[in-house]
Structure 1
């Protein structure tokens, strides 16, 4: 009987150990799972033409929320430089204009400073867009996405325009002074850029929220 009891006890302990290994971590333990959520139908409609915006570790963030895990939001706001931008359909013989704006400054509920200009590059050869390593002529250097605290999610919209041949594009002295409340539509109309050939966006908010 003693031998049988010992065997049953050993089997019970092994079963308990195996069951424990299959359980999820305790609630107070940090989760290693990182969830990537795509945008809602309304916001996803902005993503057209397969334009890619590629950040370290995250890859193409087009049409998605930036996850809070692994401090991705903080690193995007404080550490990472300009992303790679790739457009596989770019024509080698043409040049393009790239615009990155925040239409939700200071918040989506009260966008009185839209559009906040985060990046503006002209004269981008199609060959550079095909590889994602763009240079071109920088009119506004890349500004990291930095949503203010308690302002909710901000949309960061990337638009790519075909640049008219022999068109010299520049910002006015007033536009160079301020990044906020930029009249992007007037800029597009003035330089006859037309509709974007491709566009995408991602959403993020202050990294401590």
Structure 2
């Protein structure tokens, strides 16, 4: 019942669309677009009620991005950085946001994990409460672009409390490449600990 309710709620909140194996024609009448929630181990990654919000889709946390209405294409080709909202953020603290793909180039062969898609430090808690991410950008946002025929990729957003008076920076070696990033070493180097909240969404190449 919980899953069914979530699907119906997503359909009602996010508006009508069509889902199928073919891209919808622009002159086709709108139909219901269902959003499938993650399950099992993938769903367990989502904790702490952090939201990742894209245009038209709303909060995509813990969901598969559907193919209907070209949503997979839009998230890969059109839309910029999402809003990230964390209502429980402490106004007196700052936060670190990390968005990575652990499935590069594929989940079956993730030799380039973690691919860094976004890294922002010094985010005021007050801004996170409203979904307005402002801080020190160490890695500019890059859109999720899974390679063709590589299956679903997880795009994981992790939110950390930034230790007080801690200046965080990427090493010269880390700045050279986005792929094969030693994220765990980065966490340990700056005493970030475990994320206070995390979420993820899954998508694949838009023509697959």
- TM-score (norm: length of structure 1): 0.85
Alignment of 1:1-209 (within 5 A): 32-209=31-208
What is the number of residues matched between the two proteins? 182
Q: For structure 2, which runs of at least 5 residues remain unmatched after alignment?
A: 1-21
How far does the alpha carbon of each residue in 1:102-160 deviate from its partner, in whole angstroms, 9 at most, with x for none?
A: 00000000000000000000000000100001110000000000000000000000000
Cα deviation for residue 41 of structure 1 reads 1.7
Secondary structure, aligned partner of 2:167: coil
How far does the alpha carbon of each residue in 1:30-61 deviate from its partner, in whole angstroms, 9 at most, with x for none?
A: 67221100002210000000010000000000
Q: Distance in 1 between matches of 2:40 and 2:137?
A: 33
Q: For structure 1, which runs of at least 5 residues remain unmatched after alignment?
A: 1-27
Q: Distance in 2 between matches of 1:191 and 1:149?
A: 36
* Aligned position for 1:12: none
Root-mean-square deviation (CA, aligned residues, Å) is 1.3
How far does the alpha carbon of each residue in 1:132-191 deviate from its partner, in whole angstroms, 9 at most, with x for none?
A: 011100000000000000000000000000000000000000100100000000000000
How far does the alpha carbon of each residue in 1:3-34 deviate from its partner, in whole angstroms, 9 at most, with x for none?
A: xxxxxxxxxxxxxxxxxxxxxxxxx9967221
Secondary structure, aligned partner of 2:206: coil
Q: Distance in 1 between matches of 2:43 and 2:54?
A: 19
- TM-score (norm: length of structure 2): 0.86
How far does the alpha carbon of each residue in 1:56-109 deviate from its partner, in whole angstroms, 9 at most, with x for none?
A: 000000000000000000000000000000000000000000000000000000
Q: Distance in 2 between matches of 1:89 and 1:176?
A: 31
Larger radius of gyration: 1
Secondary structure, aligned partner of 2:117: strand
Q: Distance in 2 between matches of 1:89 and 1:127?
A: 10
